[in-house]
Amino acid sequence: MKDTKEELRRHLLAKRLGIPEVLRRHHEGVIREHFRAFGPYERSKTVALYFPVRGEVDLLPLLSDRTKRYVFPRIVSQGMVFSPASSEQEFVPGALGIPEPAAGSVVAAREVDLFLVPGIAFDRYGHRLGYGKGFYDRLLGGNPDVVSVGVCLDEFLVEELPADPWDARVGYVATQAGIHKEGEE
């Protein structure tokens, strides 16, 4: 791929924001159903979600499953920590303008069974194109044994993304077509 990460970011983000809302909502519902039938999700007690921004896949309806504890990222200094939340009413504007749980208890990454990871795009090798701040790269790179699933629409699961040595990979990618293990077609 010849495009730089920044060029891809701009192009794909504009494409994502152009998806009609009714179509996006339909695909999001299909993706949530894939998670409900996904073994690692079914077995998880603590799941790391994210608050969707800029057209990211909305997984917040999963909060209705009260058998799980859901945690969300909070930006603290140059790092990311996770705090529990069980409804959208528990969020406040965060450091980057992304809603996050009000400051409270912190859940260690090792206590999280499954990380659902947002991204602008993913490739079949598990590489992620995010917003360029490196928070998820540091999280996943520092916790190589965690089960992680990148979440995007089919249009944003591409053959190959440019990757740097410090870019962490996810183990799976979830789209409306299903949940794919990294490296599988």
Domains and CATH numbers, the chain: 5-179 (3.40.50.10420)
Lowest mean pLDDT among 6-15, 52-61, 100-109: 100-109
Q: What is the mean pLDDT of residues 5-29?
A: 95
Q: What is the mean pLDDT of residues 146-166?
A: 94
Contact 165, 141 (CB under 8 A): no
Contact 64, 58 (CB under 8 A): no
Q: What is the pLDDT of residue 102?
A: 86
From the list 169, 176, 129, the residue with the least C-alpha distance to 149 is 169
Q: What is the mean pLDDT of residues 148-176?
A: 95
Mean pLDDT of the chain: 92
Determine the 3-state secondary structure of 62 from DSSP: helix
Determine the 3-state secondary structure of 104 from DSSP: coil
Q: What is the pLDDT of residue 33?
A: 97
Q: What is the pLDDT of residue 10?
A: 94
In the chain, the DSSP E strands lie at 46-48, 69-76, 79-84, 91-93, 99-101, 114-118, 121-123, 128-129, 147-151, 157-158, 172-175, 178-181
Q: Does 78 score more than 80 pLDDT?
A: no
Q: Does 159 score more than 70 pLDDT?
A: yes
Percentage above 70 pLDDT, the chain: 97
The pTM of this model reads 0.93
